[in-house]
Structure 1
Amino acid sequence: MIKERIHTIKPEIMEIFEHLHQHPEVSWKEFQTSDYLTQFLQKNGGRVRTLNHTGIVAEMGEGSPVVAVRADMDALWQEVNGQFQANHSCGHDAHMAMVCGVLLILQKFSSLPPGTVRFLFQPAEEKGTGALKMVEDGVVDDVDYLYGVHLRPELELGDGFAAPAILHGAACFVKGRIRSDDAHGARPHLGANAIEVGATFVSLLNNIHLNPMLPYSVKMTSFHAGGESANIIPGSATFSIDMRSQSNEGMEKLVSKVFEIASSLEKLFGVDIEMETGANVAAAEVHPEAQAFMEKGILNVLGIDALQPPLVSTGGDDFHFYTIKRPHLKATMLGLGCGLAPGLHHPNMTFNKDALLNGVHILSETVLETLKEGKGKRGRQHVD
């Protein structure tokens, strides 16, 4: 039944995608995107609740269980054909179009199984801060099941295939500054050389060892010190550090070791090292029950030959902050093969637009399966 309905709404799904693709907006500035989606949701029977930012919540149905579907809204700021601009090279335009498609499909049912379907349109995924703000707003406090979706590159998942979970890794980015006084090149004993501090920092980062069975990495990705004068020993420098781990526990250990190294270098060289954590993305926490419902959705739409195992990705997504902050949530993210090339975040990324229909169909089937078989639970304990 859904298959026939998918084809009737295909023109509208494609229209939504093209509009969003042609009007990209960067993190926390998704104003036109928010207005467009709000009008669409209200027009199609969604009970819309706007927030004190660009995020949107819409609902249909009532009672338990509460099943939520999340789409990210923001675009990247990057150089495209020689010009810097907002650009949907991560597929968020596709994610929004698919979630809108789910609402269109469910809205066509004369009656749905008991329960509430909630549609979450979340800003600022690329900043790693949007999900945390939505959690703070309480939009998932009473949610039982949470589903997301992300297009996957062709090299990771072929067109026409799908995975019931994406096992993203954790990522943490630190910016720092080394502070000391400059010294004359002829008198190195009168100051600390920030370049030497940085070189020692890099060496010690390379000596961090965690469990080798756990994928992880830590590296300095930028370092700036000194000026045009070759006879001045720079006392100050700025730097950035990129950390990755496939588990949240591993990330905690990495961060702790990096800050311990900085503290030791302060004492060794007699300098001040200031460090500030920027974007911080959690590793995936997938619930087996949610994954099982997503598997059913994929099987119902694409069949057993197209069902792939959960994807392990070193990339990150702030979707997983929902489950970190609200452990009661049963969540997973659909990995959708769509012929995406050359890759995510490439300024000229393209994919097979017909795969949007597969995504709408799978998510709709998953939501219906969850409403029919899922159980809601009340009186949860929240962890901040």
Structure 2
Amino acid sequence: MSDILEKAKSIENYIINFRRDLHKNPELSSEEYQTQAKIINELEKMEIEYRKVGNTSLIATLKGKKSGKTIALRGDMDALPIKEEADLDFKSQKSGIMHACGHDAHTAMLLGAAKILSGMRDEIVGEIKFFFQEGEETFLGAKEIIKAGGMEEVDACFGMHGMPELETGYVNIEPGYRMAGSDTIYVKFEGVSGHGSAPHRAKDTIYPACTFVTDLQGIVTKNIDAQKPLVLSVGKFVGGTKANVVAKYTELDITMRYFDSEVRKKAHQAIKRHAKAIADAYELKVDIRIEDGTPSLYNDESLTVLAAQSAAKVFGKGRNKTIPKYMGSEDMAYYFKHAKGVYAFIGYRNEEKEAVYFPHHEKFKIDEDYMKYGTALHVQFALDFLKNSAS
């Protein structure tokens, strides 16, 4: 067992207790004021400098005895508007809000890493930044930290997420695309209202909008390379006011997930083209608005090699398992636009503890045994990167 994992085990109760307190008291995106205060209290005990940024985020900085490169470690803090149904002694005390994505554990692991590293200042060659980040679920938190200068002079960044595809004690660190980019597309058809008994005297928008919805999958299959994934899902469809009134307006909200930037560009063009063609065919007006989301997340190849070596020290050999990339999105990708980075998936699956649910489920649980591994990986990779950069 590695030295760093031993250090993580020695403070395991501290990490777990902090996580349980956050789990009992979840806060929604950019409202994590109590969470921020609790972290500040711990950072002050560790004598780690920090500053508040954004609404509730923190940038903490730990400088080693010798100058060198800078690495940023990130932990997200926000909960979700979900009513918890998991049977836990430390169940959410806030109705309709729960930590259903494991961000409470992410925060606790990063704080545990800060605690370990604060006692290793003499061994740190360079600087370590800890991003305690608000609003990952809304894709706003990373932007706030970047806007506040958090990524200035950062040479590499590292983050992680617990996942149920991997059992506790296993990790996934792979190069290349690991999570999808995300955009939201708003389409509004405008026609002419009229009586339901005489649709020929009006310009209905519901039928053309339905045609557009079915046509979207034709964009995926006929315009995009099948080996480059694209997902288009209509999550909201609103049209009309009453059964006997021809709908003047119909609006659609579409989520789009992709990896390749060229696929994104082609999809945007095709959606606009198809919507306009259908609107023209039925003599309608159409307005299309694209809201940029987070970019796709890409693990730097050379940095991934180093991270995999760090993981082997913590988890042991043969514990880095290959899993498919995810079509879900992560605002960690914004940091990767400013410095090379690696994002790891850590296993929390334990069927005996009912820790089997995918994030955002109302019965979401983690195997808390996984947290010592995540804490140790933060520490090990930070030390290895700084040492490797100094040599």
Give the TM-score, by structure 1 length: 0.90
Percentage identity across paired residues of the two chains: 24
Q: Could you tell me which residue of structure 2 aligns to residue 336 of structure 1?
A: 346
Q: Could you tell me which residue of structure 2 aligns to residue 379 of structure 1?
A: none
CA contact under 8 A between 2:184 and 2:255: conserved in structure 1? yes
Residue 375 of structure 1 and its aligned partner are, at CA, apart by 5.7
Q: Could you tell me which residue of structure 2 aligns to residue 226 of structure 1?
A: 240
1:67 aligns with 2:71: yes
Q: Name structure 1 gaps, 5 residues minimum.
A: 377-384
Residue 72 of structure 1 and its aligned partner are, at CA, apart by 0.9
1:150 aligns with 2:150: no
Alignment of 1:120-139 (within 5 A): 120-139=131-150
Give the counterpart letter for 1:34 in structure 2.
Q
Match of 1:159 among 164, 168, 183: 168
Is 141-150 or 254-263 further displaced after alignment?
A: 254-263
Residue 320 of structure 1 and its aligned partner are, at CA, apart by 0.6
1:249 aligns with 2:258: no
Q: Could you tell me which residue of structure 2 aligns to residue 280 of structure 1?
A: 293
Is 336-345 or 160-169 further displaced after alignment?
A: 160-169
Residue 276 of structure 1 and its aligned partner are, at CA, apart by 3.5
Give the counterpart letter for 1:157 in structure 2.
L
Residue 214 of structure 1 and its aligned partner are, at CA, apart by 0.9
Q: Could you tell me which residue of structure 2 aligns to residue 314 of structure 1?
A: 327
Alignment of 1:1-384 (within 5 A): 1-62=3-64, 63-81=67-85, 85-109=96-120, 111-153=122-164, 156-165=165-174, 167-208=178-219, 209-229=223-243, 231-278=244-291, 280-309=293-322, 311-324=324-337, 326=338, 329-339=339-349, 340-374=355-389
SS in 1 for 2:281: helix
Q: Name structure 2 gaps, 5 residues minimum.
A: 87-93, 350-354
Residue 159 of structure 1 and its aligned partner are, at CA, apart by 2.1
Sort the Cα spacing of 1:205 and 1:335 in 2 relative to 1 into closer, same or farther, 3 A. same
SS in 1 for 2:310: helix
CA contact under 8 A between 1:164 and 1:310: conserved in structure 2? no
CA contact under 8 A between 1:297 and 1:363: conserved in structure 2? no
Residue 85 of structure 1 and its aligned partner are, at CA, apart by 1.6
Residue 357 of structure 1 and its aligned partner are, at CA, apart by 0.3
CA contact under 8 A between 1:30 and 1:54: conserved in structure 2? yes
Residue 373 of structure 1 and its aligned partner are, at CA, apart by 0.2
SS in 1 for 2:336: helix
SS in 2 for 1:28: coil
CA distance in 2 between counterparts of 1:163 and 1:177 reads 41
CA contact under 8 A between 2:125 and 2:390: conserved in structure 1? no
Residue 84 of structure 1 and its aligned partner are, at CA, apart by 5.7
Is 219-228 or 291-300 further displaced after alignment?
A: 219-228
Residue 246 of structure 1 and its aligned partner are, at CA, apart by 2.7
Sort the Cα spacing of 1:360 and 1:259 in 2 relative to 1 into closer, same or farther, 3 A. same
CA distance in 1 between counterparts of 2:162 and 2:144 reads 24
Q: Could you tell me which residue of structure 2 aligns to residue 381 of structure 1?
A: none
Give the counterpart letter for 1:94 in structure 2.
A
Give the counterpart letter for 2:238 in structure 1.
H
CA distance in 2 between counterparts of 1:272 and 1:80 reads 44
Could you report, residue by residue, the CA deviation over 1:175-195 in whole angstroms, capped at 9, with x for unpaired residues? Answer: 333233311123222222111
CA distance in 2 between counterparts of 1:245 and 1:118 reads 30
CA distance in 1 between counterparts of 2:321 and 2:179 reads 16
Could you report, residue by residue, the CA deviation over 1:253-298 in whole angstroms, capped at 9, with x for unpaired residues? Answer: 2223212323333433333333444561211121122212210111
RMSD (CA atoms): 2.1
Sort the Cα spacing of 1:357 and 1:251 in 2 relative to 1 into closer, same or farther, 3 A. same
CA contact under 8 A between 2:54 and 2:144: conserved in structure 1? no
SS in 2 for 1:337: strand
